[in-house]
Amino acid sequence: MSTAPLLEVKDLVVEFPTRRGTLRALDRVSFDIAPGEILGVVGESGAGKSLTGAAIIGLLEPPGRIAGGEIRLHGQRIDGLPAEAMRRIRGKRIGAVFQDPLTSLNPLFTVGQQLVETIRAHLPLTEAQARERAIGLLAQTGIPAPEARFGQYPHQFSGGMRQRVVIALALAAEPELIVADEPTTALDVSIQAQIIALLKGLARERGTAVMLVTHDMGVIAETCDRVAVLYAGRVAEIGPVAEVIHRPAHPYTRGLMGAIPAMDEDRDELLQIDGAMPRLNAMPGGCAFHPRCPAATAQCTRERPELMAAGATRAACWLVGEGLVAEGPR
């Protein structure tokens, strides 16, 4: 696996102007993904996971806008590109997979028509060549009888099969990066496992970089090489999956891990994080997590911590910087 980043996100800021002022939804988010690597992005609802993916693929909903930072694909800046230039990159170099496959598929056209149109928009192939490639993609993504399925409409597919079609669409132009936003959430567990195996195979065999947005730590543990934990539009912790799951450094990450039932532990109740994530118009000063953190100090309320080394991971926590062990929420 190459160590040079394919995707670099540096100090990304996304804002939403409103009549009552500007709301900052992403606040200096930074991470990178190498070719063939799967990076999980996890956090509570409203943490900024999907927004990060939308900013990368150039699909921020107005009036949302990138107000700072850089997004680079193989060293080339792609934030701030004209809409038409970004559209070409989005289909050819970046593929997208969303939670609900019906939002990605046109019910009026067959699956085959949609695949062929996408392929021919980005690759110099004839109609016959594009059809052959489309059938090959359906087969590769695990759809049985791909020749017959080629002529069917989206409503004739199950939810899991539709998601496979969406992944085939995302792969149509052989992208370098796939942004997958909750691709397994609406699927039952056995289909989830198949979609996860498909994404892992793509990364391993094609060298495709994958950004996997999810709130499911089980999916993260099974799929990803590294994980970034988002909280209130900021990266709280980032590092190798096994380290973040088994030796979390940030109090918020510890709380997330403590809320997951363990098969090898006998506990009467799960841990929980008291309180709720702050609203964008009421963001606390200093560390955004400090109102919910049992180990918060005066410094936490005044100064925002940057990501700093915490063993094999990096965490945005002053206690980590001081070499102290932060206690997780109880």
Tell whether omega for the bond before 17 is within 30 degrees of 0, i.e. cis. Answer: no
Superfamily classification of domain 34-62+80-230: P-loop containing nucleotide triphosphate hydrolases (3.40.50.300)
5 vs 215: CA distance, rounded Å: 24
Torsion of CA 267, 273, 275, 281, to 10 degrees: -150
The DSSP code sequence of 21-63 is: EEEEEEEEEEEEE-TT-EEEEE-STTSSHHHHHHHHTT-PPTT
Whether the CB-CB separation of 108 and 114 falls below 8 Å is answered with no
Structure confidence at residue 70 (pLDDT): 97
The ranges assigned to domains in the chain are: 34-62+80-230, 249-321
Three-class DSSP category at 9: strand
Helix 111-122 to helix 159-171 angle, to the nearest 10 degrees? 20
Structure confidence at residue 257 (pLDDT): 86
Whether the CB-CB separation of 20 and 205 falls below 8 Å is answered with no
Whether the pTM exceeds 0.75: the reply is yes
Three-class DSSP category at 12: strand
Structure confidence at residue 323 (pLDDT): 58
Nearest to 14 by CA among 76, 77, 61, 72: 61
Residue with tokens 């915490």, as numbered in its chain: 310
Kindly give, in sequence order, each residue whose CB lies less than 8 Å from that of residue 76, ignoring residues fewer than 6 positions away: none
Whether the CB-CB separation of 199 and 95 falls below 8 Å is answered with no
176 vs 190: CA distance, rounded Å: 28
For 164, phi then psi, to 5°, come to: -65, -40
Structure confidence at residue 324 (pLDDT): 54
Nearest to 230 by CA among 68, 42, 45: 42
For 50, phi then psi, to 5°, come to: -65, -35
Structure confidence at residue 104 (pLDDT): 85
Sites in the chain below the pLDDT cut of 50: 1-2, 325-330
For strands 94-97 and 38-42, give the pairing.
unpaired
